Amino acid sequence: MAKKLVIKVTAGADAPERCSQAFTVAAVAVASGVEVSLWLTGESSWFALPGRAAEFELPHAAPLPDLIDSVLAAGKVTLCTQCAARRGITEEDVLEGVRIAGAQVFVSEALGEGTQALVY
């Protein structure tokens, strides 16, 4: 059975350690061969925009742009529909490879066979 991990990150610059942990776990899981779906919600929504991850700093943490790139290369990154709308973010604004989808898609992924869901 394939291993699948759905990670929802709600934290951004407002909670840098929690935010960094979510992206680090997603990147390590991808590197380990796990199928990863990373969901950007709440304040992490801003990291769907080009250049925003480069503004994030946390001592002794991997650079956020590198973590996002590794997840985009082998996994899925999704921006919450409502979170995007509240911030005026459209599909034309986001990084290449980031999709915008809603709760129905999240629930479907999280309840999939052999899937573990984590929320940060």
Q: CA-CA distance, 89 to 107, in Å (whole number)?
A: 22
CA-to-CA dists, residue 44 to 2, 55, 84, 108, angstroms: 28, 12, 10, 21
Residue 80 φ/ψ, nearest 5 degrees: -60, 130
Q: CA-CA distance, 52 to 118, in Å (whole number)?
A: 23
pLDDT per 10-residue tile (average), the chain, 120 residues: 88 97 98 97 98 97 97 97 98 98 97 95
- pTM beyond 0.85: the answer is yes
Type of residue numbered 16: P
Q: Give residue-wise pLDDT tens across range 64-96.
A: 999 999 999 999 999 999 999 999 999 999 999
Report which DSSP code applies to 87.
T
